[in-house]
């Protein structure tokens, strides 16, 4: 149980375009989901906390207008990277908060912006 699906696993896009990443909790409901970013050979850094039905909470230094988060249902949160640029190329991972306050992680999305 407690499976989190993240899609797509890999995306390549042109500079200036927008990319949407989906994070789904498959067998449980998650009122809270998290989005992390990981640069090569670095650890995961929390970008934002996504709360169902309300606005996301962004960490310091993360541009909310660039990284749009929507958590419209108890099983789906989306992260849209708007007007992507090469410096946005990274590995993005989501997690969903399940029972016993345990975060369950998706498999990640590798974004490459040309």
Partner 1 sequence: KQEVTQIPAALSVPEGENLVLNCSFTDSAIYNLQWFRQDPGKGLTSLLLIQSSQREQTSGRLNASLDKSSGRSTLYIAASQPGDSATYLCAVGDSSASKIIFGSGTRLSIRP
Footprint of partner 1 (CB under 8 A):
6, 32, 34, 42-46, 49, 91, 93, 95, 97, 101-108, 110
Element of type H or E holding 113: strand 109-113
Nearer to partner 1, 28 or 82 (CB): 28
CB of 16 to partner 1, least distance (A): 25
CB of 71 to partner 1, least distance (A): 14
Distance between alpha carbon 29 and the CA centroid of its chain, in Å?
17
The CA distance from 40 to 61, in Å, is 19
CB of 112 to partner 1, least distance (A): 12
Nearer to partner 1, 18 or 26 (CB): 26
Cβ atoms 83, 66 nearer than 8 A: yes
Measured from the Cβ of residue 101, the count of other Cβ atoms closer than 10 Å reads: 7
């Amino acid at each position: 149980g407690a499976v989190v699906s993240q899609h797509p696993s890999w995306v390549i896009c042109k500079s200036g375009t927008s990319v949407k990443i989906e994070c789904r909790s498959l067998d449980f409901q998650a009122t809270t989901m998290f989005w992390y970013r990981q640069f090569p050979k670095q650890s995961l850094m929390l970008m934002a906390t996504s709360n169902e039905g309300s606005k996301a909470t962004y960490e310091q230094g993360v541009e909310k207008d660039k990284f749009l988060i929507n958590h419209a249902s108890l099983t789906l949160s989306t992260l849209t990277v708007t007007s992507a640029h090469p410096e946005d190329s990274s590995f993005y991972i989501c997690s969903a908060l399940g029972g016993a306050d345990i975060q369950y992680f998706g498999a990640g999305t590798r974004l490459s912006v040309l």
